[in-house]
């Protein structure tokens, strides 16, 4: 086997300078090997495995079957780039000004609004970070002729957070997100796997969470079972984005509150996130949906309106029915009976999951108007919807 191409020290400096120009807040590197082999470098006392296997075996990934299908690729980057020598890891901040649920202007400040996770306010990070990684990859080719590379942004077969820790960029908090002492956890992680040989940085070995349990205590649905152990089936981000069925339990629906895409509760509670820079990449500034769209507006979205409201947005992943379904839950949790007519209209939606949640929301709001609307849905073609309607009527 021929010797791997090597990046010169001056070329590494140029690569870091380019990363900074592109908007990366940090760039580092770790050796490409099986995560199970490298993990003892972070904590020698912990077992030499990734814990991905036990997480999958317990079914904590819910309906995300693709997590199990790509397990081998996630545990060793050489499974998808056999000659890999180095894993480059970059951080791109997305912490724009404002808070989830904030109106775009003063008008209508008192109407019920939904919350979107900060990372979903602007352009789809898969697209933005992916393009930035391509620029880095092209520069790498210039500095190391013949170098090959592959990129990954969340949806790719890479466990970004362990690699970021191995590259010395931070530690994984109890909520499962990467944390840094000089900022917060409001950033995306982009990864380049390459066959080029680079000097590797020391892993981050200090856990600065200490005895704090703020994130565990703040989770509305008790999804954080233990430090770094999240039950996706209870996580609001999973419920509002990945789950294609009806949210199964009343306590989960109530726990969702007004979150309709993602959730920031555990990160908001983290003391380290008090050191916020609010200096996210400009492409992540709020788009058409803003930080806090009116719940009524979301309930009215048809396919065309959804497309218009989510151009190049990560919110597209939820699809129209997923976003409207979550908006119905938010409407039920709002306590605002003025939303009953819009929920009643959704009892005729083409998607059964939307009708299920509209019925649940009407039952939660209660009142004579809600009861009349529910009575008209007792003959729905879906047994699941009919059952939810009866449950809702029993509460009104």
Residues 6+ apart with CB under 8 A from 292: 100, 101, 102, 103, 104, 113, 114, 115, 116
The beta-carbon contacts of 237-245 under 8 Å, at least 24 apart in sequence, are 237/117, 237/262, 237/263, 238/62, 238/64, 239/326, 240/318, 240/322, 240/326, 241/317, 241/318, 241/322, 242/62, 242/63, 242/64, 243/62, 243/63, 243/322, 244/63, 244/322, 244/353, 245/63, 245/353
The residues carrying an active-site annotation are 154
Query: Judging by beta carbons within 10 Å of its beta carbon (0-12, 13-18, 19+), is residue 263 exposed, middle or buried?
Result: buried
DSSP letter assigned to residue 379: T
Contact 14, 21 (CB under 8 A): no
Distances (CA, A) of 13 to 7, 136, 210, 281, 370: 10, 12, 35, 22, 64
The backbone torsions φ and ψ at residue 6, rounded to the nearest 5 degrees and listed phi first, read -120, 140
User: CA–CA separation, 262 vs 40, rounded Å?
Assistant: 32
Helices (H) and strands (E) in the chain, counts: 18, 10
38, two tokens:
């490298």
Among the listed residues 91, 92, 85, the one whose alpha carbon sits nearest the alpha carbon of residue 193? 85
Biggest CA-to-CA distance, the chain = 78
Contact 191, 132 (CB under 8 A): no
The backbone torsions φ and ψ at residue 194, rounded to the nearest 5 degrees and listed phi first, read -140, 155
DSSP letter assigned to residue 315: G
């Amino acid at each position: 086997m021929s010797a791997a191409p090597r990046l010169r020290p001056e070329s590494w400096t140029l690569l870091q300078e380019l990363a900074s120009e592109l908007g990366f807040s940090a760039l580092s590197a770790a050796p490409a090997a099986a995560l199970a082999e490298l993990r003892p470098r972070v904590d020698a006392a912990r077992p030499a495995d990734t814990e991905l296997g036990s997480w999958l075996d317990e079914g904590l990934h819910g309906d995300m079957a693709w997590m199990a299908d790509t397990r081998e690729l996630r545990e060793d980057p050489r499974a998808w780039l056999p000659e890999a020598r180095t894993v480059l890891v970059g951080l791109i901040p997305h912490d724009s000004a404002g808070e989830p649920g904030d109106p775009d202007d003063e008008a209508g400040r008192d109407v019920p609004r939904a919350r979107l996770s900060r990372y979903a306010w602007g352009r789809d990070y898969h697209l933005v970070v992916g393009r930035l990684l391509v620029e880095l990859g092209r520069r790498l080719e210039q500095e190391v002729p013949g170098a090959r590379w592959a990129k990954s942004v969340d949806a790719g077969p890479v466990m970004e957070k362990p690699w970021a820790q191995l590259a010395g960029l931070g530690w994984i908090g109890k909520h499962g997100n990467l944390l840094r002492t000089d900022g917060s956890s409001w950033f995306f992680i982009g990864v380049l796997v390459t066959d080029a040989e680079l000097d590797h940085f020391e892993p981050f070995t200090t856990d600065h969470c200490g005895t704090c349990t703020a994130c565990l205590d703040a989770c509305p649905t008790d999804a954080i079972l233990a430090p770094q152990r999240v039950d996706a089936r209870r996580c609001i981000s999973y419920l509002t984005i990945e789950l294609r069925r009806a949210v199964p339990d009343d306590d989960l629906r109530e726990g969702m509150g007004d979150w309709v895409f993602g959730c920031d509760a555990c990160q908001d509670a983290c003391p380290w996130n008090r050191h916020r820079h609010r200096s996210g990449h400009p492409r992540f500034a709020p788009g058409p949906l803003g930080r806090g769209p009116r719940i009524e507006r979301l309930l009215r979205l048809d396919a065309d309106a959804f497309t218009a409201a989510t151009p190049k947005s990560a919110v597209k992943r939820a699809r129209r029915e997923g976003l409207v379904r979550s908006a119905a839950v938010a409407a039920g949790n709002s306590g605002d009976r003025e939303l009953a007519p819009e929920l009643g209209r959704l009892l005729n939606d083409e998607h059964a999951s939307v009708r299920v949640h509209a019925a649940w929301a009407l039952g939660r709001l209660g009142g004579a108007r809600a009861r009349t609307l529910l009575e008209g849905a007792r003959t729905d073609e879906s047994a699941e919807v009919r059952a939810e309607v009866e449950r809702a009527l029993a509460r009104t």
